[in-house]
Amino acid sequence: MTLPTIVEDEEERPTSNAKFKRIKTLHILVGFGFIYTVVLSSTLFAHRTYRKTIHGQYGETLKLGPKIKYSTQRLTKRSLKNGVSMSTKVHIGTDLHKPKIDTSQIHIGTDLNHPQKHERMPLQIPEFAELTDSKTITSILKQESHFPSLDGRRQQRLKFKPGQLDISREETLRHCFAHPGIYRDQFPMRPQVTMVSDPYQVIYMMVPKSGSSTGRWIMEHVLDGEDEPFTIHGRELMEDGDYGNYTVLTFIRDPLSRFFSSYDEAYLRHGPWFDHKKKEKVFLKYMTNNKHPYPYLYENMTTWDDYQDAFCPPQLGLTRQECRMEETKENGTLAERFERFVWDYDGLHPFDLHLRLQVLHISNPQTGRARRVDEIYTTENTIDDWKFIVEWFGEELPENGEFQARSVPRRFDTLKVSLETKQRICNLAAIDYCCLNLQLPPECESDDVGVFCALDKSKRDGSLRIQPWLHPHQVPATRYSSAKPKST
């Protein structure tokens, strides 16, 4: 029997070949995709590892490449343009031959390796401790004696009075530690505007309400300074930074006096009268119209005239312009509201930048350590100190005194502020007294007021740390918790 012959369909063969080609192409594409994925993963892993290395060294990830190249070029161009030698550093203070500061003394090494890991915020009030003699604290800070050890799991803390250390304010500030968890809202969180003079290689780090208006004018008009935004971490001021060879100076003020001035400024800037004048809205464009955290401060005050009538009553017969420079004649309403605010305020969440503490303005929010500051002056001798500074560079201050900021009288009567309220302010600003080695004012000198400092060692790297004995959230606040302000 003859089997039928099977004849291939000529039209099916091309179809089978095309299907085979599609499968082969798909396999090739999958292979290339796998290779690309492996290469990309390896590259990203290497890049992430490198970023971690940079992160651990500088405290935050740096963008490498053109930006660093630009910074180097900018520094070179500015140096050549002004004929400035970048190899030397001039100290304009009295100690003109002090050695160059080692960045390790500023504690910018180990703490930066863990920028997001802070020690737990202390919530309990420290138990009673005997005062340690200031000479002993000074000896430890100068490394002339060892920090006393303590058996057990608790950390040793030495208690001492502020303003009694036999070391400079600059050296005291280098040991300062502002807890990043506690003072989180006190730190500046955007680039700080700083005056930089390239011809004289000097930087003025401005602290609001500490003679900053006068200093800014002198830097701009006498020392040819310009505004320069600095990062909040102060990397530019490190030894290998763009301004590592520049001298950094700042001015500070007695914290109690500064708090009065800061409140006055913050009160004015957040008043409801700024909603009625377009010019002032533009001038204070950084202000928001959110609800004020202390609305009782402005009860029965909706316009500037209402506010002015409170400190310059109409019965005085003065014009509006004359009232601007008149000493306050308020009846105690503004002072009473100020006192209520002090007792309601926790010292950690300022509603205006002027209420931030001085140390926090010049500290790194990641490490809690102060940025580099070579010379610290006080506002007690502002004019004499600036005169010394400019004369050191061969310049002179204008004889007409136009550089002096026009001082506006206090709007509330500080004589009507109780002693108890002033003492609470000293407690809230204890970190300024401790870290700047400032003596307490007569109102706060008594040990009963409770303004003390603490010296301890970091658990992470063993470095010495100066802190307030009581942080603001640990200071008792019981007064005015339910009091109502007096009406106008």
Judged by DSSP in three states, 426 sits in: helix
Cα(394)–Cα(95) distance, integer angstroms: 18
What's the half-sphere exposure (Cβ side, CA atoms, 13 Å) at 418? 12
* Residues 6+ positions from 396 with CB-CB distance below 8 Å: 222, 390
Length reported for the chain: 488
Cα(199)–Cα(225) distance, integer angstroms: 8
C-alpha to C-alpha distances, 397 to 8, 156, 208, 212, 360, nearest whole angstrom: 107, 50, 22, 16, 30
pLDDT value of residue 129? 73
Contact 214, 253 (CB under 8 A): no
Cα angle for residues 46, 51, 55 (degrees, 5° grid) = 150
**Residue that has been written with the tokens 């700080």 in this structure:** 192
Structure tokens at 387: 């005169």
pLDDT value of residue 65? 34
Contact 262, 254 (CB under 8 A): no
pLDDT value of residue 38? 76
Cα(275)–Cα(279) distance, integer angstroms: 10
Instruction: Provide the 10 A C-beta neighbour count for residue 395.
Output: 14
* Residues 6+ positions from 244 with CB-CB distance below 8 Å: 237, 238
Q: What is the DSSP secondary structure assignment for residue 39, as one 8-state letter?
A: H
pLDDT along the chain (488 residues), means of 10: 44 54 76 78 57 34 32 35 41 43 36 40 59 91 86 75 95 95 90 88 92 90 89 79 89 96 92 62 45 89 90 90 88 94 94 93 92 93 92 88 73 93 96 96 93 92 93 79 39
